[in-house]
Amino acid sequence: MRHEYTNEEKKKANLDNVARDILYKTLDKNMFSKIKTCATAKEIWEKLIQICEGNDETKENKLTVAQQKYESIKMRKGETMTEFDERFSVVVIELTSLGKEYSNRELALKVMRALPREWDVKTMAMHESKDLNKL
């Protein structure tokens, strides 16, 4: 007995085909080989998340490493403020992507603690003269 598909089933199948096509076109050969056995776009997406983000333990390890980078970051000798800011921003973006966010005040205080001693006078002036929540 032949099953006739409803309009809703046809629509879902068509959308799944479109989604799979888009996903296939964005993947390189190596990544495609890892998902080619998936039957639906949802399966492909879940497999890609597993491959790219890892399991909960992997995510927790990534977060721990990123937090260690954040806690230990210091301005290097000879480094400009722009260079330090770029390095600091990379760490903050990594933490944000892993679900950890800091307030502007926390970030400003961290930057001030990361500056070398020759910045102490400037750091104290910034600390006393500005509302750190607005930095």
pTM score of the predicted model = 0.57
3-state helix, strand, coil in the chain (%, to 5): 75, 0, 25
Helix axes 81-97, 56-72, angle to 10 degrees: 160
pLDDT digits (tens, 9 = 90+) for 16-69: 999 999 999 999 999 999 999 999 999 999 999 888 877 788 888 999 999 999
